[in-house]
């Protein structure tokens, strides 16, 4: 069952390529005691994700943080090395935490998986954005098809 507003995010640990190499980051590390905007994309370096979704959150990062948001997270079912390369390519340092859900554990746990095998992508995440306060989802915007509208930075900014 898809996660809903009012529910807690599941306890999952992610692998992340940090300054000291591979490290674990848990959902508790990310969400406990914080207000977080998390947006998820079907894949790193894919057209809409690279040309519109991430750039929108980069453009509005200061405004979003000005609304009391402690962290902006971009999640994709990609490995930490790909997410690190994408972060460098997009210039997200200190603005967006680019987080890989390599095995799709978080994506499956919140029931927002997408079967991209018809496009040669395999298991992926649906495109969505959520606002999470101290581990509880307060806003959830899931795209109902291709394109970018409800999960855009501009729409999420209007919900803060």
Q: Is residue 35 part of a domain?
A: yes
Out of 17, 49, 114, 131, which one is annotated catalytic?
Answer: 49
Q: Is residue 38 part of a domain?
A: yes
- The model's pLDDT over 11-47, given as tens digits with 9 standing for 90+, comes to 999 999 988 899 999 999 999 999 999 999 998 998 8
Q: Is residue 8 part of a domain?
A: no
Closest CA to 123 of 39, 4, 43: 43
Structural domain including 27 reads 13-159
Local structure of residue 117 (DSSP, 8 states): G
Residue 49: active-site member: yes
CATH number assigned to the domain comprising residue 143: 3.40.30.10
Strands 97-100 and 71-76: parallel
- The model's pLDDT over 60-118, given as tens digits with 9 standing for 90+, comes to 999 999 999 999 999 999 999 999 999 999 999 989 999 999 999 999 999 999 877 77
Q: Is residue 99 part of a domain?
A: yes
Q: Is residue 1 part of a domain?
A: no
pTM recorded for the entire structure = 0.94
Q: Is residue 19 part of a domain?
A: yes
> What are residue 62's phi and psi, to 5 degrees?
-65, -40
Q: Looking at the 3D structure of the chain, how many domains does it have?
A: 1
Q: Is residue 25 part of a domain?
A: yes
Q: Is residue 132 part of a domain?
A: yes
């Amino acid at each position: 069952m898809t996660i809903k507003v009012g529910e807690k995010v599941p306890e999952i640990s992610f692998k992340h390529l940090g300054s000291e190499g591979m490290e674990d980051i848990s959902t508790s590390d990310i969400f406990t005691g914080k207000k977080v905007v998390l947006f998820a994309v079907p894949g790193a370096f894919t057209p809409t994700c690279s040309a519109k979704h991430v750039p929108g959150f980069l453009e509005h990062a200061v405004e979003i943080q000005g609304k009391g948001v402690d962290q902006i997270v971009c999640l994709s079912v990609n490995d930490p090395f790909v997410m690190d390369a994408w972060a460098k390519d997009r210039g997200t340092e200190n603005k967006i935490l680019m987080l890989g859900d390599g095995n799709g554990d978080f994506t499956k746990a919140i029931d927002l998986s997408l079967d991209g095998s018809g496009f040669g992508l395999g298991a992926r995440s649906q495109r969505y954005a959520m606002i999470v306060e101290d581990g509880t989802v307060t806003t959830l915007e899931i795209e109902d098809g291709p394109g970018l509208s409800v999960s855009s930075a501009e729409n999420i900014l209007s919900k803060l």
